[in-house]
Amino acid sequence: MTRVLLIEDLAEVASHLKGLFEREKDVQVVGVQGTAESGLTQALADRPDVVFVDAPLQAQGRLDAFEIARRVREGSPGTRIVVVTVPRKPVRADPDKGVDAVFTLPGSANELSALLGAKSSSMAGGLGKGQTIAVYSPKGGTGKTTIALNVACTLRRAGHTVALMDGVMQFGGLRHIVSAPADCRTIIDLPSCALAKAALPETLWEGPAGVEILFAPERPEQADLVQPAEIADAMILLAATHDYVVVDAPTRLADDTLAIFDAASVILIVSTFMDVTLHNVRSAVDTFTALGYKGQKPLLLVVNQGDTFPGAGRAALEQALGLPVVAELPSDWKTVSESLNRKQPFVVAAPNSGVAKAVGALAAALVA
Ligand SMILES: Nc1ncnc2c1ncn2[C@@H]1O[C@H](COP(=O)(O)OP(=O)(O)O)[C@@H](O)[C@H]1O
Ligand SMILES: [Mg+2]
């Protein structure tokens, strides 16, 4: 049973949240407090599993939501603290300051369920315990899917638990580069709301090196059945049970891609030195800056097949974009195409190849 305390001064919001909690199995609301002071008192006396505290409470005076979070973390370190806010007042999770997670109203039941399920992350960070890595490229064919798969396998072989998610809802190709059974389950099979967590293990397919894969829908017309928020919810659920969640993100900058970026803790941008790729990467980075991602979460460049354009420079790229290059992968047609034919990631089939070692360096940089 998860014991939840709600500190919320607006009756309407309190009843909305209570309604969501009531739909959850194994959740007991131990109190609804309308003021910061009474909320803090009960939190410290009862030490609930989770405290939901309203961010706009700060309007009331000295004891704002963040001060409550800090004091609850101090007095009851096992309590998970979720700050409730509205879209126009964005709040960032910061477990060091007692804010384990943020729930943005109105919020989905799925999201709430994931927040309730995750343990206090005072020792970990982010929403669940895992790091979520979005692998992105604004140009198709740069090696995004190849890199996502091989990074996931490398992290797994280093002893971490790893989930890999095909975030490309239409024509997501991950299932074809691993030897997935034709009838493998997909994100479509994941029920929404409270049932998702229980259904997750059987929706994942154990792939190469023991990476657990959540596939995208099989048919292109099924893409519309998955809402952007559900993609983000799946990432949050996966992060609650895996050390790393690697997501192959779509190329098009639409709502589903942005939902993936919002839920990600790191965004890897895969580039080559081809003119059209560089041009698109520059535009994408401009967009990320406009969206406020730059500075908010690490945006890291990965140069793939840089050696096919002798003379192009990593330093020039870093300077032009103001972002670091964390890894450079060489071209290796033989190793990469053989691994594709055998449906075995090259980090597994040819761990000593230069390209596998470069992925190793990339994974090590991500862990660091
Ligand atoms: N470093 C590399 N050396 C050789 N071939 C590569 C390399 N990286 C990717 N490829 C090949 O390039 C093609 C496109 O890669 P893919 O990962 O499908 O790109 P994306 O997901 O960005 O569209 C694939 O055939 C892949 O095997
Ligand atoms: Mg791809």
Same domain, 16 and 80: yes
184: domain CATH number is 3.40.50.300
pLDDT for 120: 38
71: domain CATH number is 3.40.50.2300
Of ligand 1's listed atoms, the one at least distance from the Cα of 149 is: 17
Ligand nearest, relative to CA of residue 171: 2
| pLDDT tens digits for range 46-82 | 999 899 999 876 555 678 889 999 999 888 877 889 9
pLDDT for 109: 72
pLDDT for 122: 32
pLDDT for 118: 53
d(CA 132, CA 261): 9
Q: Which domain holds residue 64?
A: 2-117
End-to-end CA distance of the chain: 36
Residue 30 lies in a domain: yes
Give the Å distances, CA to CA, from 215 to 71, 85, 181, 242. Answer: 42, 32, 11, 16
Q: How far is the CA of 345 from the centre of ligand 1 (A)?
A: 12
Q: How far is the CA of 139 from the centre of ligand 2 (A)?
A: 10
Same domain, 215 and 298: yes
pLDDT for 117: 63
Same domain, 277 and 208: yes
Angle, CA of 18, 22 and 23, to the nearest 5°? 125
- 259 burial class (0-12, 13-18, 19+ CB within 10 angstroms)? buried
Ligand nearest, relative to CA of residue 143: 1
Do residues 262 and 256 make contact, with C-beta atoms less than 8 angstroms apart? Answer: no
Same domain, 152 and 199: yes
Residue 298 lies in a domain: yes
Q: How far is the CA of 145 from the centre of ligand 1 (A)?
A: 7
The residue out of 59, 94, 117 marking a domain boundary is 117
Cβ partners under 8 Å of residue 299, min gap 6: 267, 269, 285, 288, 293, 323
The residue out of 64, 87, 117 marking a domain boundary is 117
Residue 227 lies in a domain: yes
Q: How far is the CA of 337 from the centre of ligand 1 (A)?
A: 9
Ranges of residues in the chain with a pLDDT under 70 are 57-61, 110, 117-128, 193-194, 311
Closest residue by Cα to residue 133 from 253, 260, 322, 221:
260
- Residues framing ligand 1 (Cβ under 6 A): 137, 140-146, 304-305, 329, 331-333, 336, 340, 355
Same domain, 100 and 161: no
pLDDT for 193: 64
The residue out of 117, 150, 167 marking a domain boundary is 117
pLDDT for 100: 84
Count: domains in the chain? 2
